[in-house]
Every structure is written in structure tokens, then in C-alpha cells.
Chain A
Amino acid sequence: MAEPMTATAHGSHGGDEVTKRDFLKLVAGAGAAVGAGAMAWPLIDSMNPSKDVLALSSIDVELKSIQPGQAITTMWRGKPVFVRHRTAEEIKAARAEVKGLADPATDQDRVKPGKDEWLVVVGICTHLGCVPVGNKPTDQRGEYGGWFCPCHGSQYDTSGRVRHGPAPANLPIPPYAFLTDTKIKIG
């Protein structure tokens, strides 16, 4: 039934001619597509972090008990954060000139001015999200004395920069500030 009717409709307008009906079809189709898209967005966005997740604010970390050469793991927004009390040799190693970094950065940019001994990084390997080991001096720390990721063998130096392995970027620095000389606020 539809076949002959369409033929007549086209025939009476000379085939190729653009008609009002073509316009109405396009507008109706576009309207439906926009409507469906507008309905899809709330569904898609509902999977993004909710307000209660976003509200997981900041944490304070007491530094007094961390001995030089040691690091602690603390939790911020569900992620481990390493706070490391670096020794003089570790700072020296981090400041040494290195060429060919995968993600070039100087150690000075990765610590707060005047607080060279404190390195604060998100403890998540930038490869596929494992937690690297190396907070305890007895842990395997890799060739560069920082952290070693057991999953796929990435190695980080004492500035948290990637030096070896498949990780594409350095351990990220979370936003933080010193409240006093022995206390920081992360977040």
C-alpha cells in the first residue's frame, strides 16, 4: 500500500524536487534525535561521580612520626597517597641531571619550596593503576631507589618520576599545602 502512494507523491512533484514533506521529515527526525539525546545524557551522566563522592574533601597528615628514608601511605579520595621523608642522598639523586625522561620534570617542581625532604605523590602507577611498592626501606624499590610496580615492572626514582617500564607518566602530585612544619593538608 505504501509503495504506490509514495510513487504518486513523488510523481506529482517531479521526482527530484524538494518538497515541504521532505522538510517536515527532516525536522521530525532531527527533533526525535535531539530528544533521544537529551534523554540519554542524564542516564550517561548518572554514571559520573556523584555529589557524595565528590564531597570526599581533604585530609590532614601528621608528618612527625615519619623517619627519614621512610614513607607512609594515606588515603585521599579512595586513592593511596605516599608521603615520603627523603634522606639527603635521595634528594641528591633526585636533583642529579638525567636525560631522556619519559615525562620530563625537575625535582624542584615536584616538592614545596624549602621542604625538599618531603615528597607527596599519588601512589598509583600511571600504567594501569597498581600500587607500587617501596615505602619501607626493606621493600624492593627498583634501580632508581624510588618505587617499583610489581604488576608490569615500572620503576620510579626518588622524585616519583618514571625511569623504566611501561608507565607513561610520573606519579602525580596531589594538591596539598603545609599547615605547620609537621602537618600537611591534602586536597
Chain B
Amino acid sequence: MAGLHKSEFTNPVINWVDSRLPVFTMMQKEYGVFPTPKNFNYFWNFGALAMVTLMIMIATGIFLAMNYTAHTSMAFDSVQRIMRDVNYGWLIRYVHSNGASMFFLVTYIHIFRGLYYGSYKAPRELLWILGVVILLIMMATAFFGYVLPWGQMSYWGATVITNLFSAIPVVGEPIVTWLWGGFSVANPTLNRFFALHYLLPFVLIGIVFLHIAALHVTGSNNPLGIDVKGPQDTLPFHPYYTIKDSVGLCVFLAIFAAFVFFAPNFFGAADNEIPANPMVTPAEIVPEWYLLPFYAILRSVPSKLGGVLMMFGSIGLLFIVPWLDTSPVRSCKFRPVYRWFLALLVIACIVLGMVGAHRPEGIWVILGRVGTAYYFLHFLVILPVLGKLERPLPLPESISKPVLRGGGPLPAGAAAKPMEKA
């Protein structure tokens, strides 16, 4: 306990710093030699992609904030100025606005990966819960950000979403007035939304840090969903997965850039090019695509409070997924029946997304109700019941066995251990 950390770095400067603050040792342990299952597929890229996107969003956001004015009389014009007059302002804003869509895209795939391969199951429950918290904060941040350009969709989206809280009995109205800082969405609302939009990404960094810290305690799940049995099942994170993540990152950035440069307004709503007008509601209020399924659930319930509860409930359910799923097998690779129900869930989410983009009339009402019903049925009935009924396929003995076709060197005793699941 003489005070200094015993650093193994030979470079004298690094050694000097590392002895006093072992950040280099930590990086080496957590990202250099960190033992990672050797059978990752490309689904395991998406956490890293989300991390990179968060960094891009924060970097572009800071520079946008330097040119943005959070006042109802100037916000719309200041955004136009960014687009026309500020050097590369158009690029920074298009990266930021399309980046939001990219962020949700990779995050939703990341969540699907977790559901398909059972990454939420013991001992990774808390890791999963932190992920759901990240999703919620992302949604709040995206919503606040969408209000800032102060176009028609900004204004009316803010009005509709803040009014969700008026469904709460008794205290609903005072809460909405408090959120607005007035009797309608107005300048105080815009000001605080800007403050929160700037704050939340840094909260996000904190929770992402905890998410990764928890991951590095339990270690990563893998496509087979079985536990790592020893060093023969793992590879050091660097260079194997730094390289694999880099390949995925190149593809991702190419798609991202294609939107930014060739279809920058693909995800945007034309109505948001009209300055906010509190007296006229646009003919149709449609949220950004990544919130459409939840919006569809809201509208599918013919009661105001019921719709709001179901919408928040649809995300709230994700928190308890680790306990709703009763199957001892993690990976859907070995769950021949559940696999199909999960595919149905994906279809239900896509259908709900389409429903959210259309007026609640005719076939869309029915589709919305069917999709909503399946979403809740899936988590509340199928997940708990199927785990008890389904007969999973036999699990491989270890990660090495299928990868090396015929085994690979197993340490003495490893093969004798009972299979940990099923």
C-alpha cells in the first residue's frame, strides 16, 4: 500500500502516469486483452456502432448549439441561418438530424440482438435494464431535439407529447402547466427543452459507462448463448474485435453518409419547414419513424388514459423481460418455436410503425389493435408460457466445439462439467 500502482508499461511517460492513475492498465485490461467469446457474428457490432453514433451526435450538437438561438422568435431563423450562412452548417445539421435516425436504427438492431440471443438472461439482467434506461433517455433527448427547429411539427409534436401527461388523473393538468412553464407550448418550453437536450446526452454517457462496466463484469453473451468455459473459447478484444467492429463501422458510415449527402431529408417531415403556428394544427401530426410504433399503440386504445398507459407500458415491459422469459436456453438458435414468435414480434413492430404513419381510419385501426395485442401478448403470455412448453435443441458442449469442428483442445475437467443450462 505504498501508494503507487505497479505499472507494466515500459514507456517512461506512460509508466509515470499509469503508476499514479492506472488508466492505461485499465484500457489494456478492458479493451486490449479483454477475453471475448470467439464466435461473435456481425450482430455484435451494434453496441460499438451506437457508441460511435453517440460521439458523433455530441460533437455535431455542440457546434450546432454555437449557432442556435433558443427563442421562439429566432429559433426557426437561426436554424435557417445554420443551413445557409454558417460554414458547413448544412453538413453539421444534416449529420446531426440523420444521426438521430441512425442512432435509433443501430440501437433497435442492438436490442433485437439482445432478444434473439437471450442476452438479457441471468447474469446480465442489470446490463439489460441499463440498456432500457438508455433507450428511454434517447427517446427523451430525440423528442427535445426535434422541438428545437421550431417548425410546425416541432411545435405540435411538443404539444401532443406533453399533453400525454394530462391523462394522469387529478395532477395531470398542473404537471403539463409545469412542463410548459405557461398555458401552452411557448418560449419557456423551448428554453428548457434546449437545456435538457444539451444535458441528457451527457447523462447518457454516464449510463453507457455503467452499461459497459456491467458488461465487463459478466462478459459478453455470444451467438450460442452458452457460457465461456475457458481461454480456448475466447479471443483478446484487440485486435480481433477492434478490427471486426471497424469493418462494420465502415459499412455503417457509408450508409450514414449516403443519407447525409444524397437524401438528407429522407427522414424529415415537410411540415417542419413551416415556422411554428400555435393557431393552426397541421393536417397530420406524425412523429419521427423511430417513435411510430409507440404512437400507434397510443392511438390504438380508445381511451386517453388507457392509451398513454399502454404506450409507456410497452417500454416498461422491457424492464422485466429477464423475468418474463422462463426458458433456461438463451439463444434462439436452440429455441425452434420461440424463434418464430420473435419473428412475429418484429413484424408486429413494423406493422405498428406503418400504422403510426397513417390516419387512424379503416384497416389501420384494425391493424393497430392487432399489432398492439400481439406486442403485449408476446411479452406477457408467450414469453413466460413458451419457456415451459418448448423443447430446446441440444446445446453444444462448448463454444470451441462447433467453431473448430471436432473440439479444439479442452482443458482437463472442462468437458466433465455439467452443461450449465437446459
Contacts and interface: CB of A to CB of B under 8 A. Distances in A.
Interface residues of B, number: 36
B298 to A, nearest CB: 9
B278 interface: yes
A130 interface: yes
A167 interface: yes
B279 A127 contact: no
Nearest to A80: B279
Contact of A79 (B183, B280, B360): B183
Q: Is the interface of A mostly helix, strand, loop or mixed?
A: loop
Interface stretch (A3-11, A32-40, A42-50, A61-69): A42-50
Interface in B155-173: 156, 159-160, 162-164, 166-167
Contacts of B299: 152, 166
Given A150-B281, A166-B303, A166-B307, A128 B182 contact: no
Nearest to B162: A129
A73 interface: yes
Contact of B159 (A77, A129, A149, A152): A129
A131 B276 CA distance: 13
Interface in B123-182: 156, 159-160, 162-164, 166-167, 177-182
Given A48-B177, A49-B182, A80-B278, A128 B164 contact: yes
Contacts of A78: 182-184, 186, 278
Interface residues of A, number: 27
Contacts of B85: none
A27 interface: no
Given A131-B279, A168-B304, A79 B184 contact: yes
Interface in A119-155: 127-133, 149-153
B185 to A, nearest CB: 8
A1 interface: no
B384 interface: no
A53 interface: yes
Given A128-B164, A131-B280, A150-B283, A166 B302 contact: yes
A50 B186 CA distance: 12
Interface string B175-205: 0011111111010100010000000000000
A128 B166 CA distance: 8
A59 interface: no
A166 B299 CA distance: 8
A44 B359 CA distance: 37
B364 to A, nearest CB: 11
Contact of A151 (B160, B186, B278): B160
Interface string A96-134: 000000000000000000000000000000011111110
B361 interface: yes
A142 to B, nearest CB: 13
B184 A77 contact: yes
B183 A130 contact: no
Q: Looking at A49, A77, A129, A132, which has the most chain B CB atoms within 10 Å of its CB?
A: A129
Contacts of B166: 128-129
Interface-centre pick from A133, A151, A153 (highest chain B CB count, 10 A): A151
B119 to A, nearest CB: 36
Contacts of B303: 166, 168
A47 B177 CA distance: 9
B284 interface: yes
Interface string B291-312: 0000000010011110100000
B304 A166 contact: yes
Contacts of B160: 128-130, 151
B285 interface: yes
A167 B166 CA distance: 12
A75 interface: yes
29 contacts: A47-B179, A47-B181, A47-B188, A47-B192, A48-B181, A49-B177, A49-B182, A50-B188, A73-B279, A78-B278, A79-B278, A80-B279, A129-B159, A129-B166, A130-B156, A130-B160, A130-B281, A130-B285, A131-B279, A131-B280, A149-B281, A150-B282, A152-B360, A153-B359, A153-B360, A166-B303, A166-B304, A168-B303, A168-B304
Given A49-B182, A53-B186, A130-B156, 14 more contacts: A48-B177, A48-B181, A49-B177, A78-B182, A78-B183, A80-B278, A130-B159, A130-B281, A133-B281, A150-B283, A166-B299, A166-B302, A166-B307, A168-B304
